[in-house]
A and B are shown apart, each in its own frame.
Chain A
Amino acid sequence: EIVLTQSPGTLSLSPGERATLSCRASQSVSSSYLVWYQQKPGQAPRLLTYGASNRATGIPDRFSGSGSGTDFSLTISRLEPEDFAVYYCHQYVSLPWTFGQGTKVAIK
């Protein structure tokens, strides 16, 4: 099983600041099968990026994904009030599919 470890657990930042979230895999993951989700309280997860670096439809360009092999990251260039949420990485190249434990981006 591929374990995805996200860091930090919580990121406390102010609106306008830059956020960098990390997702480290226990084995190499093809970037084509690594995605990032955003989840707000009481809502379903929303796809942000796929193929490690492609933005999903309707996702603002302040969100960007990068990485390869075992190290991936999600960057939010300038935090907007609506970006404070929990973020998950997810791999679907190797069964069982797995999610990271999540990073909460909180208002400082």
Chain B
Amino acid sequence: GAGVSQSPSNKVTEKGKDVELRCDPISGHTALYWYRQSLGQGLEFLIYFQGNSAPDKSGLPSDRFSAERTGGSVSTLTIQRTQQEDSAVYLCAAGSGGAYEQYFGPGTRLTVT
């Protein structure tokens, strides 16, 4: 595709429910990143996939957060037993390895009530 797409654009969920956020990266970009943007914490790295290598999960805030990337393309970020502090905009970015810059999707705004 021409750019990174994310779905849904907005998600409202009740505390304790599980949510799945989806990212469709740019075709051919081998690197995929998830970030979180919140008022209190700014922009934070969550997880990074590069080709067939083991993902860098060093930014995941708790074991309630997980992500997978199927077939080197689409990625899903799952948050289990959501808490109010999980409310944020979740951004996905794609990169092509050697070029270093990252191209961001529009984000998913998650609100936990």
**B partners with A:** no
A-side residues, CB < 8 A to B, are: none
